[in-house]
Amino acid sequence: MQPILLHIESSTDICSIAVSRGEELIGFTETQEAYQHASQMTLLIDEAMQKAGVSLVELAAVSVSLGPGSYTSLRVGFSTAKGICYALDKPLITVPSLQALAGGMAEASKSLSMDESTHLHYIPMIDARRMEVYRAIYDQQVQIKEEPEAVVIDASVFDNYLSQGGDLLLGGNGAPKTKEILDHPQIHFVAVLASARYLIPFAVEAYRVERFADVAYAEPFYLKPPNITVSKKKFL
């Protein structure tokens, strides 16, 4: 029997929830407003479970986006996932956010009219601040080429890959703001955003080989410390 998994994506401004039976998506919900994770996540989980026609006790495991991404949003996702795992004694699976996003980009690229012989790299981007993004680089088999890194985007940031003659496919909520700077015939953009549905194949594989996280000690991969501003108000 195929395992039923709950998937929580909370690395960006939009939170989404998926339920799968094996690799089949059977329930999905997402927020319609940005940064509503804390108030909406449990409601979204209930809705996704109802759409799937299953209950929490039927879950085989819970998967959650590992990061990098929004500090607060990742904490909400992890707290919720770990709470469910604790309460129901279910294993926890963590999926790197950029890897899941790259998998979604690879799926979307199948509909693009690109030469099959093109050597393609997937570069998922999650918005950080200003012209900074969290990004990693994956090959055509969605295998890691460069580990996640916080990068300030300029016109020469991918020159090393462009000089090799391959094409780059950029996606995620950090990609649109780079379009004017990265105007190059070998660079293509795909409108793919982080989604719980993209966690599914990676979570299923992790479940198959029993690659579980420690529920007690698992923490998000923030990559950078939170941006904390000090109030300028004068205290009397």
pLDDT of residue 117: 56
Contact between 124 and 118 under an 8 Å Cβ cutoff? The reply is: no
Structure confidence by residue, pLDDT tens digits, 169-196: 999 999 999 999 999 999 999 999 999 9
Q: Give CA separation, 87 vs 80, 82, 154, in Å.
A: 11, 8, 47
pLDDT of residue 58: 98
pLDDT of residue 35: 85
Determine the Cα–Cα distance for residues 158 and 163; give it in Å rounded to an integer.
Answer: 9
Contact between 35 and 57 under an 8 Å Cβ cutoff? The reply is: no
Range(s) of the chain covered by CATH 3.30.420.40: 4-96+194-208
Q: Does domain 4-96+194-208 have CATH number 3.30.420.40?
A: yes
pTM for this prediction: 0.92
Stretches where the chain sits below pLDDT 50 are 228-231, 234-236
Quick one: fold of 98-189?
Nucleotidyltransferase; domain 5 (3.30.420)
- The pLDDT > 90 percentage for the chain reads 83
pLDDT of residue 110: 82
Cα dihedral value 41, 46, 47, 52, nearest 10: 130
pLDDT of residue 229: 46
Contact between 27 and 18 under an 8 Å Cβ cutoff? The reply is: yes
Q: Which long-range contacts (CB under 8 A, 24 or more apart) does 157-164 make?
A: 157/182, 158/123, 158/182, 158/187, 161/121, 161/137, 162/186, 162/187, 164/119
- Among 30, 52, 27, 49, residue whose Cα is nearest residue 41: 30
Determine the Cα–Cα distance for residues 200 and 195; give it in Å rounded to an integer.
Answer: 10
Cite the DSSP H helix spans in 140-233. 159-162, 200-208
Cα dihedral value 166, 169, 170, 172, nearest 10: -150
- Give the SS3 label for residue 16: strand
pLDDT of residue 235: 46
Cis ω for the linkage preceding 68 (within 30 of 0): yes
pLDDT of residue 118: 66
